[in-house]
Amino acid sequence: MIVESYIDYAVFICERHELLPSNVTFRDNLLNILLY
């Protein structure tokens, strides 16, 4: 499924994002992509 691929990619980005400074906008945008 394409959706599953996007979720896997999002999880990868989230894991990488843990190494970066906190960025609420980035997180919110990612959630918006997943939810909408």
Which residue, 25, 27, 4, is CA-closest to 16?
A: 27
Tell me the C-alpha distance between 5 and 17, whole Å.
18
Residue 34 and residue 7 in contact, taking contact as beta carbons nearer than 8 Å: yes
Tell me the C-alpha distance between 36 and 21, whole Å.
25
Task: Pinpoint the alpha helices (H) of 1-36.
Answer: 2-17, 24-35
Model pLDDT, residue 7: 76
Model pLDDT, residue 5: 76
The 10s digit of each residue's pLDDT in 1-36 is: 566 777 777 777 766 666 555 566 777 777 777 776
